[in-house]
């Protein structure tokens, strides 16, 4: 049994690949990852910048995937 690892995406990235990496970890396709990005932006605007800070920390902590 192979273990899944949470990594940033290299081939489906907009900025750092963090959201795409989360989507790939949970087995989502490209359309659902795009929906995740849209929802993230909407929630980030509503959170007055708190989610932007969370994104920066997550992109710093989550390692890049090396293929």
Question: Within a domain: residue 50?
Answer: yes
At 18-40, the pLDDT tens digits run 999 999 999 999 999 999 999 99
Provide the residue range defining the domain that includes 47: 18-61
Residues 44/55, Cβ–Cβ less than 8 Å? yes
Is residue 26 in a domain?
yes
pTM of this structure: 0.85
Average pLDDT over residues 2-31: 91
Rounded to whole angstroms, the Cα distance separating 27 from 59 reads: 19
Per the structure, the count of domains in the chain is 1
Concatenated DSSP letters of 17-56: SHHHHHHHHTT--HHHHHHHHHHHHHHHHHTTTHHHHHHH
């Amino acid at each position: 049994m192979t273990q899944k690892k949470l990594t940033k995406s290299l081939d489906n990235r907009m900025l750092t690949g963090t959201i795409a990496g989360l989507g790939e970890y949970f087995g989502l396709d490209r359309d659902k990852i795009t929906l995740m990005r849209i929802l993230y932006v909407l929630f980030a605007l509503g959170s007055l910048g708190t989610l932007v800070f969370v994104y920066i920390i997550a992109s710093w902590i989550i390692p890049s995937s090396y293929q």
